[in-house]
């Protein structure tokens, strides 16, 4: 789980997927793409949280030096994906609220 290609590659792939769907959302009139973006952002947040949780577990079993060596980077870099995911989830919730508000008040 702390393989750098897995711990950092999956969030990067999810961000690329999110960007692709965001571009598609701007260029199309498909109504459910916002929900797809919300799901991708939620999965990004959950995945990053799970990797961080596993890093803490490994640090409790071994030590932080072993975790840092397994990752090939400082442990705090795992929080970058989590923060980005939480921001994207919040952004999608705000968009959904605005859309619902707009539909109800037309």
This model's pTM is above 0.75: yes
The pair of three-digit structure tokens given for residue 36, joined into one six-digit string? 């797809």
Q: How far apart are CA 81 and CA 45, in angstroms?
A: 7
**In the predicted model, what is the mean pLDDT of residues 12-35?**
93
Distance CA 15, CA 80 (A): 12
Let me know: does 35 contact 27? Beta carbons within 8 Å: no
Distance CA 37, CA 102 (A): 20
Give the model confidence (pLDDT) of 73-102 as tens digits: 999 999 999 999 999 999 999 999 999 999
CA–CA separation, 103 and 7 (whole Å):
40
The 10s digit of each residue's pLDDT in 31-69 is: 889 999 999 999 999 999 999 999 999 999 999 999 999
Terminal-residue alpha carbon distance, the chain: 49
Phi first, then psi, for residue 25 (nearest 5°) are -65, -40
Q: Which of 100, 10, 97 is nearest to 50 (CA)?
A: 10
């Amino acid at each position: 789980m702390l393989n750098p290609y897995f711990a950092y590659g999956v969030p990067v792939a999810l961000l690329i997927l999110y960007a692709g769907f965001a571009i598609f959302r701007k260029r199309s009139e498909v109504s459910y793409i916002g929900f797809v973006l919300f799901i991708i952002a939620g999965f990004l947040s959950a995945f990053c949280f799970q990797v961080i949780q596993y890093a803490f577990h490994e640090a409790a079993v071994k030590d932080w030096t072993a975790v840092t060596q397994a990752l090939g980077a400082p442990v705090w870099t795992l929080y970058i994906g989590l923060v980005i995911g939480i921001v994207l989830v919040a952004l999608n919730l705000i968009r959904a609220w605005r859309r619902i508000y707009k539909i109800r008040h037309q």
